[in-house]
Amino acid sequence: MKATQHIKRISIETVCMVYVLLFVYAAISKLLDFENFQVQLGQSPLLSAFASWVSWGVPIIEIFIALTLLIPRYRVIGLFAAFSLMVMFTSYIIIILNFSSFVPCSCGGILDKLGWTEHLVFNSAFVLIALIGILLLTSTILADNTRKRNSIFITVPALLVTSIAVVVLLFVLSEDIIHHRNNFIRRFPHYPATEIRQKDLKYNSYYFAGTNPGKIYLGNYTTPFQITVADTLLKTINKHNIQLDRVDFSFHSAEIRVLDSSFYLFDGTVPCIYRGKTANWKAKLQAPIAIRYTLAEPVDTNTVVFRAFAPKTGENILGLFKLATENTTDFKPKLLEKQIDGIFDTDGMLKYDKVNRSVVYLYKYRNQFISTDQNLSVVSRGKTIDTFSIAKIQVKYLPASKQRKMSTPPFVVNKTIAVHNNLLYVASALPGKFEAIELWDAATIIDVYDLSNNSYLFSFPIYNVKKEKMKSFIVQGNLLFAIVGTHLVLYKLNPLFKSNLKK
Lowest mean pLDDT among 306-315, 415-424, 461-470, 478-487: 306-315
Average pLDDT of span 9-24? 92
Domain boundary among 130, 155, 180: 180
pLDDT of residue 179 exceeding 80, the answer is: no
Average pLDDT of span 154-163? 91
- Is 423 a domain residue? yes
pLDDT of residue 150 exceeding 70, the answer is: no
pLDDT score, position 117: 84
Residues 60 and 155 in one domain: yes
Report the predicted TM-score, pTM, of the whole model to 2 decimal places.
0.78
- Which CATH number does the domain housing residue 299 bear? 2.120.10.30
Rg (CA), the chain: 30
- Is 186 a domain residue? no
Residues 158 and 263 in one domain: no
- Is 258 a domain residue? yes
Domain boundary among 139, 154, 180: 180
In this prediction, residue 503 has a pLDDT band, given cuts at 50, 70 and 90, of very low
Residues 210 and 334 in one domain: yes
Residues 233 and 176 in one domain: no
Name the phi and psi angles at 291, rounded to 5.
Answer: -135, 140
Query: Structural domain tally of the chain?
Result: 2
Average pLDDT of span 443-463? 95
Domain boundary among 180, 208, 243: 180
- Is 191 a domain residue? no
Residues 27 and 160 in one domain: yes
Distances (CA, A) of 475 to 179, 361, 419, 482: 22, 17, 7, 9
pLDDT score, position 266: 96
Range of the domain at 110: 2-180
Average pLDDT of span 116-133? 91
Are 212 and 232 in contact, with CB atoms under 8 Å apart? no
Average pLDDT of span 135-140? 83
- Is 185 a domain residue? no
- Is 158 a domain residue? yes
Tell me the H-state helices in 142-223.
Answer: 146-180
Residues 6 and 122 in one domain: yes
pLDDT of residue 106 exceeding 70, the answer is: no
Residues 262 and 374 in one domain: yes
pLDDT tens profile 260-303 = 999 999 999 999 999 999 999 999 998 778 789 999 999 999 99
Calpha distance 356→421 (Å, rounded): 6
- Is 345 a domain residue? yes
Distances (CA, A) of 233 to 194, 205, 215, 383, 468: 14, 21, 9, 34, 22
Residues 206 and 274 in one domain: yes
Residues 259 and 205 in one domain: yes
pLDDT tens profile 228-265 = 999 999 999 999 999 999 998 999 999 999 999 999 99
- Is 188 a domain residue? no
pLDDT score, position 279: 95
pLDDT tens profile 339-382 = 988 899 999 999 999 999 999 999 999 999 999 999 999 999 99
Residues 312 and 419 in one domain: yes
In this prediction, residue 182 has a pLDDT band, given cuts at 50, 70 and 90, of low
Residues 149 and 221 in one domain: no
**CA 475, 481, 486: angle at the middle one, nearest 5?**
150
Residues 65 and 151 in one domain: yes
